[in-house]
Amino acid sequence: ARGLVRHILARTDVATAVDDAIQVVQAYHLLSEREVYVTRIQVLVEHGLDTDVDALVAAMPVAVLPSVAHEIATWVQDTLQDDIDDVAGSSGQKTNPAAKGGIDEDDDEEEE
C-alpha cells in the first residue's frame, strides 16, 4: 500500500492526488493521513512546487498539522545535514559533531 500511495502522490499533475491517497489509506488501514500529507509535501518540495505546498498546508486538517510540521522539519534537517556531510566529505573537512545530534526531542517535550 505504501508504494501505491507514493505513486499516487508523486503525480504532481493530478489535483486530487491527496484525496485519492487518503482513500487508499482508509481502505487499507496500513498508513495514516499524516503519512499522506508528509509524503505529498516531500514530493512537491522535491519538484519545486512551493505554491502547491502552500495550498496543501492551507487545506490540511488542523488536527494533523503539528505532527506533519514536526515530521517535515525533521526531514528538512536530515536532508540539510546529509548535504553538509556530502560537501564536507568531498572537501576533506569534518562536520561539527554537535550538529550531528540535531534537535533533542526530549528537550522539546520538557518545554511544552
Residue 59 has a pLDDT of: 94
Band of residue 85 on the pLDDT scale cut at 50, 70, 90: confident
Band of residue 91 on the pLDDT scale cut at 50, 70, 90: low
Q: Cell 499522506 maps to which residue?
A: 36
Residue 86 has a pLDDT of: 80
**What does the pLDDT average to over 63-69?**
96
What does the mean pLDDT of the chain come to? Answer: 82
For residue 91, the Cα-to-chain-centroid distance in whole angstroms is 29
Answering whether pTM is above 0.75, one says: no
Length of the chain: 112
